Amino acid sequence: MYANAADPISHPDEQMGGSIAIHPMLGPLWNFVKGSAGKMEHGIIDRAAAAARDLGGGGVIFCKSGKDRTAMQVTLKQSQYLITAGLSREKSNIFSNATMMRANGTRLAICEKNVGQAKYAFNSLQARFMPNLLKPPKESIAGFLKGGRVFSGEGAIET
């Protein structure tokens, strides 16, 4: 197990209740996996990323055009990094920092370059079902579409 190699514990092979002991660094991830059985939990991705980070690993977010869903994930990770790097003090600021980056950051310029409009290609129905930490600000989403046109104004984003 890599976790034991990266951060040895006193008895890595110790049996607990008939199963191998879970490394303390992986405990929160393991508990989340057990507790989310049968449910769709988006938070598991964050827990896995935190475990990888704690073990000295990194992550990659990839999308062919770098807009929309990628923007939501990248701005969340940037905001989380502000906490890790000590540049932001409160964990409660993660969402507000990510929202500020989504509304005013470079990701909207990428959207404009790719589709001709500085808005994310989500409609309000899609945004409603997104995990809270990944929701874009309401003023930065395209809106409902009808016939290839934005229902509530100018633009040509299709979802």
3-state secondary structure of 150: strand
Which contacts qualify for 145-154: CB closer than 8 Å, 24 or more apart?
Answer: 150/117
Indicate which residue of 63, 109, 112, 116 is catalytic.
63
Residues in the chain: 159
Q: Is residue 97 within 8 Å of residue 88, measured between CB atoms?
A: yes
Known catalytic residue: 111?
no
b/e map of 68-93 (b: 16 or more CB within 10 Å)?
A: bbbbbbbbbbebbebbeeeebeeeee
96 phi and psi angles, rounded to 5 deg: -65, -35
Q: What share of the chain is helix, strand, coil (3-state, %, to 5)?
A: 50, 5, 45
Catalytic residues: 63
